Amino acid sequence: MKLQLPALALALCCCGAAFAGPTCKVPEDKWMKEADFKASMEKQGYQIRTFKVSKGKCYEIYGLDKAGKKVEIYFDPATGAELERK
């Protein structure tokens, strides 16, 4: 059992990076205003339940798409371009 615990701990540490979102390297003074970004997403049919800036400095939304399907999406904060969808 002692040998299994370090292996499990190592596996959990490595898996954490797999679940992280993209990294956005855009200076904050170039970002879209949050209100403008949210309005643009809502105009496209998204229902935003939660909006945040991710650890990777990207805009991230949790909510529903036009079809009512749950989404978690990362966006470039300067352009609003979709980067990753989970």
Q: Which domains does the chain have, with CATH numbers?
A: 21-85 (3.10.450)
* Closest to 61 measured CA to CA, from 38, 43, 78: 38
Radius of gyration of the chain (CA): 17
* Closest to 41 measured CA to CA, from 50, 27, 28: 50
The whole model's pTM is what? 0.76
pLDDT at 12: 45
pLDDT at 20: 76
Question: Mean pLDDT across the stretch 37-58?
Answer: 97
